[in-house]
Structure 1
Amino acid sequence: MVEHGPEAFFLELDGLYSTYRPLGADVTRREVDFLDRILRRSGNRGSLIDVCCGYGRHANEFARRGWQVHGVDISPGSIQQATEVAREESLSAAFSVQDCRTFEVREKADAALVLGTSFGICGDRDGDDACVAAMTRAVNEQGVICFEMFNPGFEALRLASPEGLYRERRTTNGVAHHFESLTPDRSAKEYNVEYRVGEKVFKLNMNMPLYSSDSMDDMLYRHGFKRVLLFGNLNGDQYDQYNSERLILVYQRC
């Protein structure tokens, strides 16, 4: 049995992430339909960086639509899976094993994205700020940064019970047990995950910071960005502080 924090968990899980959190191609296409539309509305038409790209489901879908894509993730197995798909389809997508807090790219991109509620996965606010700094370095002077995040207002209602919330999720090759609760100051989600695949058991224990749109605005402003768009999900629905499951934020250099 393996038990540790987020970095070690995802390294140990490695190529199994695509089975731990599988999502269908139709979901990915719908999400990228929306993201492609808002990025082009912001004047971006060429290149993007997918941070914490996992097995490349968004990155390769963007490449299918003509974007030049660079995906970064800490998991070698996930990067290998993403690279194989790009190679098989002759897509303009490259992938590299890098930490979201320190990654570097050879050429600056038009946009950088953190999708799938991955922002906050570092487990501490200094690490999240370092991730934003790396994204800032990676985009050009007209660059856009986009986040798909948990909505703290929705999470506060969903996890209102002091006992927290348990759920079991069947995957393609195992079962994942999730227990979530809020920290006493309600500034973070406490995650306890046990993922069983055959004889292997992976455990994750972490606190994931929650950010309001205002706190993200402050963080991004310190890095030279201002918010230009706000949505409640990747369908483009209007944001509601308590009813939207997600917080979609788009920033552009000041």
Structure 2
Amino acid sequence: MNRKEEFIEWFRKFFDEYYYETYRVYEPEGRNESEARFIVDALDLPKGSSILDIGCGYARHAVYLARWGYRVVGIDLSNFLLNKAGERCRNFGVNVKLLQMDMRRMDFYEEFDGAYIFYTTYGYFSDEENLKVLENIHRALRKCGRVLIDIWNKVHTYARFYNSRNDTICTWYYLGNYLILEEMKLDMLNDRVNSKRRFFKDSREVTSKAFSLRLYSLCEMIEMFNHVGFRLLKAFGSYRGEDYRITSPRLIMVAEK
């Protein structure tokens, strides 16, 4: 398999047991609850509202929203993570409706008061397909419904590569029980970051994973919001609710239908 082929439909293979084993230890419940509280505060919807968690993973935020009185539906493409989400919901004693679904093919119609795509789950696809996701969200929301989208800050990401004096950043780190070598490459022609992670355990490579993200600026996101019928309400730069700035690590937007 050549490097270009690694990034075709990469998301169908990325979110498996290796993803869960490495990310789960990085996501303690204190962090999960704090981020869930940020989602609730940012969307500013009353308890009892119906909320769609797009790319819900193992329901690390959805269980808290359900516990706090929201009616939550979670969708994800990964059957492995949905099974983990089911276990997590049972452990929390909450009811979250879980569906295996590709966000590009969502067909809800005015069923939700709010929706969120959290922790860099937007930008997986081509520009046309990413726009289609926004159209699907717009259709899924009722009048005055709100969506929260959390992505990397494009300016901050470019600055990382600029400061490295290279279009490739290689990093070794431990996560879970694995030693990981990550090679991140900036594709300036397509405004994407392409990353390959090699997983090592007991001095041998056990697997490798690739992912590719489209980087969007606030200006580009506002243009897409306007195209599908959203208006931007607020842009945050962190999960602490700080205003978005050029130096913010993240770009977190709340828009209204």
Q: Normalising to structure 1: TM-score of the pair?
A: 0.88
SS of alignment partner, residue 142 of structure 1:
strand
The alignment status of 1:176 with 2:171, answered yes or no, reads no
- The equivalent residue for 1:202 is 208
Cα drift, residue 156 of structure 1: 1.1
Cα drift, residue 230 of structure 1: 0.9
Cα drift, residue 13 of structure 1: 4.4
Change (3 A) 1:226 1:43: farther
Is this contact kept in 2: 1:6–1:204, CA < 8 A? no
2:58 to 37, 55, 58: 55
Residues of 2 paired with 1:53 and 1:26: CA distance? Answer: 18
2:227 to 202, 222, 231: 222
Runs of 4+ with deviation above 3 angstroms: 6-13, 42-45, 104-107, 195-200
| CA deviation map 1:33-68 (0-9, x unaligned) | 22211222x567511111111111011121121111
Number of equivalent positions: 249
1:164 to 164, 168, 173: 168
Cα drift, residue 10 of structure 1: 4.1
RMSD value over aligned CA atoms?
A: 2.4
Amino acid at match of 2:217: S
Matches within 5 A, 1:20-59: 20-22=22-24, 23-40=27-44, 46-59=49-62
Amino acid at match of 1:63: A
Cα drift, residue 18 of structure 1: 1.9
Q: Which runs of 5+ in 1 are unaligned?
A: none
Change (3 A) 1:219 1:82: same
SS of alignment partner, residue 61 of structure 2:
helix
Change (3 A) 1:95 1:16: farther
Is this contact kept in 2: 1:48–1:111, CA < 8 A? yes
Q: Which runs of 5+ in 2 are unaligned?
A: none
Cα drift, residue 117 of structure 1: 0.9
- The equivalent residue for 1:149 is 151
| CA deviation map 1:196-225 (0-9, x unaligned) | 46763132153x211111110110111110
The alignment status of 1:236 with 2:241, answered yes or no, reads yes
The sequence identity of aligned pairs, in percent, is 24
Residues of 1 paired with 2:234 and 2:220: CA distance? Answer: 15
- The equivalent residue for 1:94 is 97
Amino acid at match of 1:73: D
Residues of 2 paired with 1:158 and 1:186: CA distance? Answer: 17
Amino acid at match of 2:69: G
- The equivalent residue for 1:248 is 252
Is this contact kept in 2: 1:119–1:147, CA < 8 A? yes
Residues of 2 paired with 1:164 and 1:68: CA distance? Answer: 43
Change (3 A) 1:205 1:56: closer
Residues of 2 paired with 1:105 and 1:14: CA distance? Answer: 26
Change (3 A) 1:226 1:90: same
